[in-house]
Chain A
C-alpha cells in the first residue's frame, strides 16, 4: 500500500511572522483517489495547497508530492502535477486552440503531441464550432471544463483543483464532476478544495481544516457517523463552530 501514496505530508507548517497559517498538518493521499480538502475561508487551505504545489516554502515539517520532496525538488513536482485555480485560469484574449497550444507548450509537449491532444480534447468537449473563438466569449461553465482539460494535458500524476466549480450552475458542476471521476478512473489523483458540501460527498476521502489544523479526516460516510450528522454540511458546521 505504502508505495501507492502520491502525497505524503508530515507535520507541515507555515508561519507568516507570528501567525501560524498551517499548523503541523499530517495526511496521505493514495493514487487515483479523489481527496477533498475542506475548510472555511482563512482556515489555511490555500496556503497548504501552495506548499504542496511548490510555490510556497514550508516553515517546517516534511512533504512528498508525486515522489519528490517539496523542499528540495519543487521543480520536479511542477512537472508532474496539474493545477487549476479558483480564479479562472485561461487567457481570455486567446482562442481555445491557442490556449491549448500555449499550455501544452510550457509543459514541454511536442508540437505533434499538442495537435493530437487538442483534437481529442476539442472533440470530447464538443467544442468543434468554437475552437477558433476567443475564450473570453465562452460561458463560464465551458471555460472551467476547458481549464480542467488543459490542466490534464501533460498527463500529470496529481491534479490540484482550487475551488474549481465556484460560480458555476448545478448542471455544469455535475458534468464537471463526471470529468473528475473519469480522470480518477484513469489513475490520476485528484486533490480538490471546495465550498460546496454536496461536492464533498463525491470525494473518496475528505479532510476538514479549522484554524490551520486538520480536525477531521475520513470517508464522508465515516465522518457522518463519527459526528452523528445527516450530511457533510452538518459535519462541517459542527466542526467549524467548534
Chain B
C-alpha cells in the first residue's frame, strides 16, 4: 500500500508539472462547456430580415409588426422590387426576405386566401429551416387570433407541448454530450499518453523490473485520472446547474455512479490504446480519431441516431458513449431511476469488462 501511495504521488507530480496536461485536464472542460453552452446553439435570435411589401395595407402592416416584435427577428430594411432580393442576400447580413403579394388583404377577404413568400438564405440549411418554421408559426398564430371572432368552419389547432426541455434549450442537449467527451478525453487519452510516455522514456522497463506487479503499475497510472475525471464531472455539472440553469431531475448519486462506470470504461480503452501504441503521438492520434470522432458523430450527441442510415445505426451500438449519453440524458432531464436505464447500464458494464479483459491480455502478450 505504501508503494502504491508513492506511485500515485509521482503521477500527480507528472500531471501538475506538465502545463499541457493541466490545460487539457482543467482548461478544456470549462472552455468546452462554455463554448457549447453560449456560442454553439440551434436557437435563433435577432435574425435580420428584409421585407418586400407589394400591397402595404393594414394586414401586412400588422403581420410585419408582429414579426418584428418577436425576439427572433429584427427588420433590417424594406425593399421595393423583386430584383433587390438577390443583392440583399449577396450582402449576407439579411437571412430571409418576406415577400407579400399585391392586394394581400383584399385577396384575403375576397377569396379567403392570400400569399406570402418566405425566402431564406440556405447557405446554412439548419438556420434557414428554423427561420422558415418560426415565420410560419408567427403567421399561424396571427391567423388564429383573427379567426377567433369569425365563426369559420372546421379548425384544427395543434397544441404542442415540449416535455423535459420546454424551452428547447440546446444547452440541455450539449451538456450530456460535452460531459461524455470530456470524460472520454481525460480518461482514455490522458492515460494512454501517460502510459506510453513511460514506455518511450524507458522508465516502464525500470518499473517492470522492480518488485511492483504489472497490474499495480497500471492501477497506479490510472488512479489519478479516475480522481481527476470525477472532479471534472462535478465541475461540469456545477457549471451547467448554475450558469445554464440546467436542472438535474434525477438522483445525483445515480448520476455519479454512472459517471464512474463510464470513466472506468474509458480508462480501460485508454489502457488498451497504450498497449497497441509505441509512442505518445500514436496514442494521441488513436484516441482522437478512434474515440473522439465516433463520440461526436455517432453517439447521438449532435446527430440523432435514429436519423442515421441503418449501417451507422448498427455501428453506433458499439460506441460506449452512445449508451452513456442515453443514461445521463435520462437521469438529468427525465429524472428516471435505475429501473429505466438498467439495460443501458448493463451494456456499458459489459463493454467495460470486455475492454479490461482485452487490455490485460494484450498487456501480458507485450510482456512476453
The interface residues of chain B lying within 8 Å CB-to-CB of A98 are: 10, 13
Mask, A84-101, CB within 8 Å of B = 1, is 111111111110001001
Q: Does A34 contact B (CB under 8 A)?
A: no
The CA of A102 and the CA of B4, in the complex, are separated in Å by: 10
- In the complex, the answer to whether A107 meets B211 with C-beta atoms within 8 Å is yes
The interface residues of chain A lying within 8 Å CB-to-CB of B210 are: 78, 103, 106-107
- In the complex, the answer to whether A89 meets B10 with C-beta atoms within 8 Å is no
Please tell me which one of the listed residues B2, B9, B14 contacts residue A93 in the complex, with CB atoms under 8 A apart. B14
Interface positions, chain B 109-153, Cβ under 8 Å from A, are: none
Surface stretch bound by B, among A54-62, A176-184, A193-201: A54-62
- In the complex, the answer to whether B13 meets A106 with C-beta atoms within 8 Å is no
- In the complex, the answer to whether A85 meets B206 with C-beta atoms within 8 Å is yes
- In the complex, the answer to whether B211 meets A108 with C-beta atoms within 8 Å is yes
Please tell me which one of the listed residues B7, B9, B209 contacts residue A83 in the complex, with CB atoms under 8 A apart. B209
- In the complex, the answer to whether A89 meets B206 with C-beta atoms within 8 Å is yes
Q: Does A42 contact B (CB under 8 A)?
A: no
Please tell me which one of the listed residues A53, A88, A93 contacts residue B13 in the complex, with CB atoms under 8 A apart. A93
Mask, B340-368, CB within 8 Å of A = 1, is 00000000000000000000000000011
The interface residues of chain A lying within 8 Å CB-to-CB of B208 are: 55
Shortest Cβ-Cβ A-B pairs, 9 listed: A87-B202, A105-B6, A83-B209, A93-B17, A89-B206, A79-B211, A78-B211, A106-B210, A102-B10
The interface residues of chain A lying within 8 Å CB-to-CB of B203 are: 89-91
The interface residues of chain A lying within 8 Å CB-to-CB of B2 are: 105, 108
Please tell me which one of the listed residues A56, A78, A83, A91 contacts residue B10 in the complex, with CB atoms under 8 A apart. A91
Interface positions, chain B 187-204, Cβ under 8 Å from A, are: 201-203
The interface residues of chain B lying within 8 Å CB-to-CB of A101 are: 6
- The dominant DSSP class at the B interface is helix
Q: Does A6 contact B (CB under 8 A)?
A: no
- In the complex, the answer to whether B367 meets A55 with C-beta atoms within 8 Å is yes
Interface residues of A, Cβ cutoff 8 Å to B: 53-57, 75, 78-79, 81, 83-94, 98, 101-103, 105-108, 134, 160
- In the complex, the answer to whether B209 meets A91 with C-beta atoms within 8 Å is no
Known A78-B211, A107-B211; 13 more pairs at CB < 8 Å: A53-B209, A55-B205, A75-B213, A87-B201, A89-B206, A92-B201, A94-B13, A98-B10, A102-B6, A106-B6, A106-B212, A108-B3, A160-B209
Find the residue from B7, B208, B213 having the highest chain A CB count within 10 A: B208
> What are 30 A-B contacts with C-beta separation under 8 Å?
A55-B205, A75-B211, A75-B213, A78-B209, A79-B211, A81-B209, A83-B209, A84-B206, A85-B202, A85-B205, A87-B202, A87-B205, A89-B201, A91-B13, A91-B14, A92-B201, A93-B14, A93-B17, A98-B13, A102-B6, A102-B7, A103-B210, A105-B3, A106-B6, A106-B207, A106-B210, A107-B210, A107-B211, A108-B2, A108-B3
Mask, B81-109, CB within 8 Å of A = 1, is 00000000000000000000000000000
Q: Does B167 contact A (CB under 8 A)?
A: no
Please tell me which one of the listed residues B7, B201, B202, B213 contacts residue A105 in the complex, with CB atoms under 8 A apart. B7
Tell me the count of chain B residues lying within 8 A, CB to CB, of chain A.
Answer: 24
Residue of A nearest to B15 (CB): A93
The CA of A89 and the CA of B18, in the complex, are separated in Å by: 19
The interface residues of chain B lying within 8 Å CB-to-CB of A91 are: 10, 13-14, 201, 203
- In the complex, the answer to whether B14 meets A54 with C-beta atoms within 8 Å is no
Residue of B nearest to A81 (CB): B209
The interface residues of chain B lying within 8 Å CB-to-CB of A108 are: 2-3, 211
Say how far A117's CB is from chain B's closest CB, in angstroms: 14
Residue of A nearest to B202 (CB): A87
Residue of B nearest to A86 (CB): B202
- In the complex, the answer to whether A94 meets B10 with C-beta atoms within 8 Å is yes
User: Beyond A105-B7, A106-B7, is A89–B202 a contact (Cβ under 8 Å)?
Assistant: yes
The interface residues of chain A lying within 8 Å CB-to-CB of B368 are: 56-57
Say how far B209's CB is from chain A's closest CB, in angstroms: 4
- In the complex, the answer to whether B6 meets A83 with C-beta atoms within 8 Å is no
The interface residues of chain B lying within 8 Å CB-to-CB of A54 are: 209
Find the residue from A56, A105, A108 having the highest chain B CB count within 10 A: A105
The CA of A151 and the CA of B250, in the complex, are separated in Å by: 54
The CA of A160 and the CA of B205, in the complex, are separated in Å by: 13
- In the complex, the answer to whether A106 meets B202 with C-beta atoms within 8 Å is no
The interface residues of chain A lying within 8 Å CB-to-CB of B213 are: 75
The CA of A103 and the CA of B211, in the complex, are separated in Å by: 11
